């Protein structure tokens, strides 16, 4: 007869006490909210961002609420900087990265410079972050990597081709990394938001018809706030998701669950 398994302490399922979590893109938007949520669960947060002043502001917000944080300046387009960050924080428990950009143009109007700019930030830098931190986490016994994809990895519209391709590519990178690093205890997942009120969507918010159309598309009938993505990050960074890897956690208010915008009559 085998011994019974120990009973889990569910009260600590989402706790991150005595763990370090690196949040790249913590200077604002979803990254800032995620950093605060992780700190609220006990994590020491490395608020990493290219904008050092914004990273410092996030750190201050966390400390004001009694949390533990430090600011760290990083340009994810600089391969050496990414490698240095992985060397310095390779013993962290988790990495979260949110940095992305978009150029909303139809494919025939895209310049190759614009193509390179979107692909380099959204996909190439993600590749570098995943593999450098993945290797460090694997050498140190495991960890969690959380990237940010988008519903555009699954559904598209005119003017979103390059952005959508990078997000679909990130989903596949995460799956591959999950397979390659899984035996060493490294989990790799992505969060796929719908439309969120961030600087990246300011162009849409400024157009009332466009903004309202997006609100009506979601089952919940509205846009997401950045803080509404924080729970997904905490879940994927914590032991609550200890058997979750290679997955996409969709947080889109039901956008991808609905077939079109028309509600047919009941009978």
Q: What is the DSSP letter of 106?
A: -
Please check whether residue 47 is in contact with residue 26, taking contact to mean a CB–CB distance below 8 angstroms.
yes
- Kindly tell me the burial class for residue 98, based on how many C-beta atoms sit within 10 Å of its own C-beta (0-12, 13-18, 19 or more): buried
Q: How many residues does the chain have?
A: 267
**Helix, strand, coil share (%) of the chain residues, nearest 5:** 50, 15, 35
Please check whether residue 97 is in contact with residue 49, taking contact to mean a CB–CB distance below 8 angstroms.
no
Rounded to whole angstroms, the Cα distance separating 39 from 214 reads: 32
163 catalytic? Reply is yes
Token pair listed for 207: 């157009």
Rounded to whole angstroms, the Cα distance separating 122 from 141 reads: 28
Q: Which of 110, 163, 214, 235 is catalytic?
A: 163
Token pair listed for 193: 């938001």
Active-site positions read: 163
């Amino acid at each position: 007869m085998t011994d019974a398994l120990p009973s889990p302490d569910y009260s600590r399922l989402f706790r991150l006490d005595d763990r370090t979590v690196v949040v790249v893109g913590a200077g604002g938007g979803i990254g800032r909210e995620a950093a605060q949520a992780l700190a609220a669960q006990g994590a020491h947060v490395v608020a990493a961002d290219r904008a050092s002043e914004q990273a410092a502001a996030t750190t201050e917000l966390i400390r004001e609420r009694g949390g533990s944080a430090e600011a760290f300046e990083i340009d994810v387009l600089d391969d050496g900087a990414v490698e240095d960050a992985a060397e310095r924080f390779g013993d962290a428990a988790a990495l979260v990265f949110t940095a992305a950009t978009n150029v909303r143009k139809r494919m025939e109007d895209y310049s190759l410079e614009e193509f390179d700019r979107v692909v380099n930030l959204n996909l190439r830098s993600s590749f570098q972050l995943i593999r450098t931190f993945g290797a460090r986490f694997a050498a140190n016994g495991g960890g969690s990597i959380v990237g940010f994809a988008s519903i555009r990895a699954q559904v598209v519209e005119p003017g979103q081709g390059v952005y959508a391709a990078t997000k679909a590519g990130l989903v596949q990178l995460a799956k591959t990394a999950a397979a390659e690093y899984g035996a060493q205890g490294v989990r790799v997942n992505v969060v796929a938001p719908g439309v969120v009120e961030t600087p990246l969507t300011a162009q849409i918010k400024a157009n009332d018809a466009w903004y309202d159309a997006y609100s009506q598309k979601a089952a919940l009938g509205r846009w997401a706030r950045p803080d509404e993505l924080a729970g997904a990050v905490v879940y994927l960074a914590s032991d609550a998701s200890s058997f979750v890897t290679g997955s996409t956690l969709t947080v889109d208010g039901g956008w991808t669950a609905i077939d079109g915008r028309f509600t047919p009559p009941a009978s």
